[in-house]
């Protein structure tokens, strides 16, 4: 049985994951309208993945005797100055999500809710991957600079990353 404190904190994380999905969806749409097919496919896949993270939390809360709540979401940004700035925002967002997960882990440990602590370890590992991937993408973007040929190759590479990532992830 979840404490009310942990249930409330997990519900906040449900909203964060839902907002993450919406953020990636907005980035996908922006990329698609700017001819960045690979980036848009990557962002659509990431949006789906974040929604899956949210659903995993919802099921956990409900299975542990709590009530997962679907709440109002903050609207994501819909336009970006450049694709580089978009990925910089993505990286900052992933760091924010990691910090939020870490706070949940700390809370579950301090309340001696070891089932929730154990459940959250999957999210800890996932966030390590998400941050590393975002950092790698930013590093590649910085290597490209203003080279349009490099952007074309990057767009193709990131499309391949999306395909590989969705094939290898199993959030269940």
Contact 58, 6 (CB under 8 A): no
89 is in an annotated binding site: no
Q: ∠44-23-141 over CA atoms, to 5°?
A: 70
Per DSSP, 64 falls in state: T
127 is in an annotated binding site: yes
130 is in an annotated binding site: no
53 is in an annotated binding site: yes
| Count of H-run helices and E-run strands, the chain | 5, 0
Estimate to the nearest angstrom the gap between the alpha carbon of 141 and the chain centroid: 19
- Cα dihedral across residues 83, 88, 89, 91: positive or negative: positive
Q: How is 91-134 classified by DSSP, letter by letter?
A: HHHHHHHHHHHHHHHHHHHHTT-HHHHHHHHHHHHHHHHHHHHH
Place of tokens 């299975």: 63
Q: Which residues are annotated as a binding site for Fe cation?
A: 17, 50, 53, 94, 127
Q: Which residues are annotated as a binding site?
A: 17, 50, 53, 94, 127
């Amino acid at each position: 049985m979840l404490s009310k404190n942990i249930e409330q904190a997990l519900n906040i994380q449900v909203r964060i994951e839902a907002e993450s999905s919406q953020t990636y969806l907005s980035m996908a749409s922006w990329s698609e309208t700017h001819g960045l097919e690979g980036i848009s496919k990557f962002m659509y896949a990431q949006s789906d993945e974040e929604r899956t993270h949210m659903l995993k939390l919802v099921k956990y809360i409900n299975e542990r005797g709590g009530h997962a709540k679907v709440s109002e979401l903050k609207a994501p940004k819909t336009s970006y100055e450049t694709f580089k700035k978009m990925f910089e925002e993505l990286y900052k967002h992933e760091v924010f999500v990691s910090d939020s997960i870490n706070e949940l882990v700390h809370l579950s440990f301090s309340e001696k809710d070891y089932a929730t602590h154990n459940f959250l370890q999957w999210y800890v590992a996932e966030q390590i991957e998400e941050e590393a991937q975002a950092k790698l993408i930013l590093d590649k973007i910085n290597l490209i600079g203003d080279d349009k040929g490099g952007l074309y190759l990057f767009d193709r590479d990131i499309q391949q990353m999306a395909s590989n990532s969705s094939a290898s992830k199993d959030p269940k």
